[in-house]
Amino acid sequence: MNQNITDNIIKTGENILPKDGEALFFPAFFSTEESDRLFKSLLSNIVWEQYRIRFFGKMQAQPRLSAFHGDSGITYTYSGKKLFAEPWNQDLLEIKERIESVSKVKFSGVLLNLYRNGKDSIGWHSDAEKEHGANHFIGSVSFGASRTFMLRHREDKELVVKTELAHGSYLLMKGATQLNWQH
């Protein structure tokens, strides 16, 4: 397949998508010291689970560990799995407050994902659950090893944008991104 892949060298907070959405990238949002501290604490203090989700009609274990935290009483449903929010802890509140300050939006919950090695991954998808409505915000903070994050346009599947999510980086997807792009 001959994909049109765009490697982005961008400025902080610049939109990495060429059309039909906004994905603002902040490569060094948290300092190395903050990132090291938060990563170590989250690894130790979050109860990580391997959720079972519906995939092509069958319940299967996800190839990553996850946890869902948020405001009291909120739920999140995806791929046949309904999650009930665990309370925010101090680390998550610190991260939440920091990203809200630049995002100009209030986040009510966070799905934490732990990719244990280079084999943990998830296929192309959009976070377009009906409960979020259209044009919602998704803030993604990365800690630990760098990984390549790719976005593929839903209609023009040859259009792929890739960005390296480094330790302490922040990616804010908003607008029509989840309607028009998969990641």
pTM for the full model? 0.86
How far is C-alpha 155 from the chain's CA centre?
22
The total number of structural domains that make up the chain: 1
- At residue 57, the pLDDT reads 79
Backbone torsions φ then ψ of 149, nearest 5 degrees: -110, 130
**Rounded Cα–Cα distance for residues 150 and 183 (Å):** 6
Structure-token pair, residue 56: 């092509």
Q: Say if residues 180 and 157 touch (Cβ distance below 8 Å).
A: no
| Sequence-separated contacts (24+) of 39-45 with Cβ below 8 Å | 39/143, 39/144, 39/167, 41/91, 42/91, 42/92, 42/112, 42/143, 43/114, 45/89, 45/91
Q: What range defines the domain where residue 79 resides?
A: 4-117+124-182
Q: Strand 159-165 to strand 109-114: parallel, antiparallel, or no bridges (unpaired)?
A: unpaired
User: Among 173, 139, 153, 169, which residue's Cα sits nearest to residue 32?
Assistant: 169
Structure-token pair, residue 125: 């998808």
pLDDT digit string (tens) for the chain, length 183 residues: 334 444 444 457 999 999 999 999 999 999 999 999 999 999 999 999 998 877 777 777 878 899 999 999 999 887 777 899 999 999 999 999 999 999 999 999 999 999 888 777 776 666 665 565 555 799 999 999 999 999 999 999 999 999 999 999 999 999 899 999 988
- At residue 26, the pLDDT reads 97
**Rounded Cα–Cα distance for residues 82 and 68 (Å):** 10
Structure-token pair, residue 68: 């869902």
- At residue 11, the pLDDT reads 54
CATH label of the domain that carries residue 105: 2.60.120.590
- At residue 183, the pLDDT reads 82
- At residue 4, the pLDDT reads 45
**Rounded Cα–Cα distance for residues 79 and 5 (Å):** 28
